[in-house]
């Protein structure tokens, strides 16, 4: 059996379009603090999404994964907070959240955009989508803010 040794991470060449060095990634995510009272299942997912954004410096596609991951946390909390959520699909939860004032129109828009990307990847319609962190950060920030 052959052992493959992976190289240490190197910055993705696209990272320099949005930051100068890895330390600058902290500025992109420093406001992404998990709110008190968020169920632990959702809090863990949000922390992972934040770290994926930071690590997109090394793997650009992680920013897209961060958006997809943060939507899982949103879905957990919307199911908990929307009466009669049952097994409704995420797009229905987002619409109902906007209709009832749980979400602002802007939040619902960001979440729905992220949902479409997530669905495209989950169902094989979109592959290896690379979302620039400048687009991913507002979507993930929306997840943090909503919760």
C-alpha 45/C-alpha 33 separation (Å) is: 12
pLDDT tens digit sequence for 51-89: 999 999 999 989 989 988 999 999 999 998 898 999 999
Helix (H) or strand (E) holding 141: helix 133-146
Residue-level pLDDT at 1: 65
Q: How confident is the model at residue 40 (pLDDT cuts 50, 70, 90)?
A: very high
Rounded distance between C-alpha atoms, residue 72 and residue 49, angstroms: 10
Rounded alpha-carbon distances, angstroms, from residue 141 to 5, 14, 61, 111, 115 = 36, 21, 17, 10, 14
* pLDDT in the model for residue 52: 96
76 class by beta-carbon count within 10 Å (0-12 exposed, 13-18 middle, 19+ buried): middle
The pTM score is: 0.84
pLDDT band at 127 (very low <50, low <70, confident <90, very high): low
Residue 113 has pLDDT above 90, yes or no: no
The number of angstroms, rounded, from the C-alpha of 142 to the middle of its chain's C-alpha atoms is 9
Mean pLDDT across 121-140: 79
Q: Is the pLDDT of residue 129 over 80?
A: no
């Amino acid at each position: 059996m052959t052992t493959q040794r992976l190289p240490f991470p190197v910055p993705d060449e696209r990272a320099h379009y949005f930051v100068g060095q890895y330390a600058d990634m902290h500025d992109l995510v420093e406001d992404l603090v998990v709110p008190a009272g968020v169920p632990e299942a959702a809090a863990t997912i949000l922390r992972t999404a934040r770290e994926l954004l930071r690590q997109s410096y090394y793997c650009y596609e992680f920013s897209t994964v961060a958006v997809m991951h943060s939507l899982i946390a949103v879905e957990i909390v919307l199911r908990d907070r929307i009466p009669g959520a049952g097994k409704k699909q995420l797009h229905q939860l987002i619409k109902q959240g906007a209709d009832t004032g749980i979400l602002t129109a802007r939040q619902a828009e960001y979440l729905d955009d992220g949902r479409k990307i997530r669905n495209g990847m989950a169902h094989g319609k979109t592959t290896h989508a690379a979302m620039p962190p400048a687009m991913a950060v507002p979507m993930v920030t929306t997840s943090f803010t909503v919760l």
